[in-house]
């Protein structure tokens, strides 16, 4: 297991999330959890959905195995880039001309005035999708060469652009701030593209794309493109259940009281920190290695990496789960309760965060186990599993939202996460899972987590007695 690559990813993600928390802290103080914060979060929801899909490896999981197996890598990669560019640009133009339509689909519970206020921001934010596609495409080429630092650190640029916008316009009215944030998303995306292009040239991978343009008409890659096309949609769907569930949650939250969309958004930012910092960083670092190992018939090496990754994630994610669930209110109080963000909003957001944290461990481990499905071209199975998880999430959301509000939507996402994990392990093989957990590490794991949870309960009681 390549710890250097994992730590590189984790450091980059940690730095990005620290800056992201600073952005959220300023945003919470300036906008709170109200009308215009809900509008911005919803306008940014769709491009942010695709950003998370791309950033968390759904595109890479489809592209990497086909790229590794390709006999004409330069032509293949150029052809895929052109195909996606045309499709995304066309989609962005449609959204720009008809933003009300796509906004209404995302917020069916909102009235006509709020849809009208949100539509222009939806059109602006949607163009970030093409920028993040370029970033992800280049990042996959860099990952093939096992270069992870640029991608891991580049999200800092997006957060910095948004912070600058908040600081420049924080004394303006909330509408102006929401527009400034939307423009800053595009500025941040352009900066991310720029640093990836620099890395591409420094590693001399630009020759790969240049050769693709030169030979694209002389080399036959029809079979490779056909295989990639057959894998892509199942791979993206299979790797996106978390993002789809989050998107569904936002739509359903639009039917709840004002502020519910913001409660979900703030809580998700915190929930996604350990998920990205540990699970996604580990999966990103291991995927090229596992893909190459399985392609070369080295199953033993691949499953050895799985075992090491499993225990590393189990310890880290369980500690994060306990910390996030038990210390939810002190964490929200420390980060957000100032300015327009009130004590009541702190309590509401903390309850949502606690429910999200119940799904952290299964969602993180499912990322790890699913690598074997994608590396062995079982994208269709991954898509079927994701579909079941999404359906369970939707049903649970509809059952829980009336009685629990936004907290019920978060709990439904965690239930869907457990379904995703159980079915993914079943597809990879229960025998592989049992061989991993039947070791002395299991005892160390249980004892250390019980002790850690007890310490956190004591700390939580002490902190609450001080702040309330």
pLDDT beyond 80 at 443:
no
**Are the beta carbons of 401 and 252 closer than 8 angstroms?**
yes
Angle of CA points 273, 303, 432, to nearest 5°: 95
- What's 275's DSSP letter? I
pLDDT beyond 90 at 10:
no
Residue 290 to residue 369: CA distance in whole angstroms: 11
- What's 30's DSSP letter? H
Q: For position 187, what pLDDT does the model report?
A: 95
Q: For position 399, what pLDDT does the model report?
A: 94
Q: Across residues 212-220, what is the average pLDDT? A: 54
Per-residue pLDDT band at 214 (split at 50, 70, 90): low
**How many structural domains are present in the chain?**
1
Nearest to 27 by CA among 435, 335, 334: 335
**Are the beta carbons of 317 and 360 closer than 8 angstroms?**
yes
Q: Across residues 327-332, what is the average pLDDT? A: 85
**Are the beta carbons of 49 and 102 closer than 8 angstroms?**
no
The pair phi, psi for residue 217, each rounded to 5°, is -95, -10
Q: Across residues 164-180, what is the average pLDDT? A: 89
With pLDDT > 90 as the criterion, what percentage of the chain qualifies? 19
Q: Is 78 left (phi over 0), alpha (psi -120 to 50) or beta?
A: alpha
Q: For position 33, what pLDDT does the model report?
A: 66
Q: Which residue has the higher pLDDT, 356 or 55?
A: 356
Query: Whole-model pTM above 0.75?
Result: no
Q: Across residues 237-263, what is the average pLDDT? A: 81
Residue whose pair of structure tokens reads 């593209």 in the numeric block: 193
Q: For position 468, what pLDDT does the model report?
A: 59
Lowest mean pLDDT among 36-50, 132-146, 400-414: 36-50
pLDDT beyond 60 at 369:
yes
Residue 156 to residue 125: CA distance in whole angstroms: 18
Q: Across residues 54-83, what is the average pLDDT? A: 74
Q: For position 210, what pLDDT does the model report?
A: 64
pLDDT digits (tens, 9 = 90+) for 273-289: 888 778 877 777 777 77
Residue 161 to residue 154: CA distance in whole angstroms: 12
Q: Across residues 329-339, what is the average pLDDT? A: 81
The overall average pLDDT reported for the chain is: 81
Q: Which residue has the higher pLDDT, 225 or 267?
A: 267
Q: Which two tokens stand for residue 35?
A: 């009308």
Q: For position 336, what pLDDT does the model report?
A: 79
Instruction: Residue 81: give the domain boundaries.
Output: 3-467
Residue 250 to residue 105: CA distance in whole angstroms: 11
**Are the beta carbons of 58 and 236 closer than 8 angstroms?**
yes
pLDDT beyond 90 at 212:
no
Q: For position 421, what pLDDT does the model report?
A: 93
């Amino acid at each position: 297991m390549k710890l250097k690559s994992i730590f590189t990813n984790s450091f980059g993600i940690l730095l990005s999330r620290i800056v992201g928390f600073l952005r959220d802290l300023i945003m919470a103080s300036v906008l709170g959890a109200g009308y215009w914060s809900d509008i911005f979060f919803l306008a940014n929801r769709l491009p942010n959905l695709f950003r998370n899909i791309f950033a968390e490896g759904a595109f890479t999981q489809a592209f990497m195995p086909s790229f590794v197996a390709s006999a004409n890598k330069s032509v293949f990669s150029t052809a895929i880039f052109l195909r996606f560019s045309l499709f995304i640009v066309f989609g962005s133009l449609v959204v720009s001309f008809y933003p009300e339509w796509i906004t209404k689909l995302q917020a069916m519970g909102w009235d006509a005035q709020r849809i009208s206020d949100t539509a222009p921001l939806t059109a602006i934010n949607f163009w970030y999708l093409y920028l993040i596609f370029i970033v992800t495409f280049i990042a996959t080429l860099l990952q093939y060469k096992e270069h992870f630092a640029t991608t891991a650190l580049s999200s800092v640029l997006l957060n910095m652009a948004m912070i600058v916008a908040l600081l420049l316009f924080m004394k303006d009215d909330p509408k102006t701030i929401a527009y400034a944030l939307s423009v800053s998303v595009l500025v941040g995306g352009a900066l991310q593209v720029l640093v990836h292009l620099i890395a591409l040239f420094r590693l001399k991978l630009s020759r790969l794309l240049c050769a693709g343009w030169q030979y694209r008409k002389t080399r036959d890659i029809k079979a490779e493109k056909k295989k990639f096309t057959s894998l892509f949609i199942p791979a993206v769907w299979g790797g996106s259940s978390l993002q789809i569930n989050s998107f569904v949650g936002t739509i359903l939250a639009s039917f709840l009281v004002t502020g519910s969309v913001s409660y979900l958004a703030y809580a998700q930012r915190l929930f996604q920190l350990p998920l990205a910092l540990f699970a996604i960083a580990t999966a990103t670092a291991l995927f090229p290695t596992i893909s190459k190992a399985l392609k070369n018939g080295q199953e033993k090496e691949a499953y050895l990496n799985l075992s090491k990754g499993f225990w590393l994630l189990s310890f880290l994610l369980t500690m994060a789960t306990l910390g996030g669930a038990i210390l939810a209110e002190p964490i929200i109080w420390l980060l957000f309760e100032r300015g327009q963000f009130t004590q009541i909003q702190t309590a509401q957001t903390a309850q949502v965060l606690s429910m999200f944290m119940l799904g952290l461990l299964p969602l993180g481990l499912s990322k790890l186990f699913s690598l074997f499905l994608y590396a062995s071209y079982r994208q269709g199975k991954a898509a079927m599993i994701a579909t079941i998880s999404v359906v369970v999430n939707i049903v649970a959301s509809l059952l829980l939202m009336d009685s629990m509000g936004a907290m019920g939507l978060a709990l439904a996402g965690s239930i869907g996460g457990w379904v995703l994990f159980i079915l993914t392990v079943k597809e990879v093989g229960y025998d592989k899972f049992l061989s991993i957990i039947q070791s002395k590490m299991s005892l160390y794991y249980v004892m250390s987590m019980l002790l850690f949870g007890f310490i956190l309960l004591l700390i939580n009681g002490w902190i609450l007695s001080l702040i309330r």
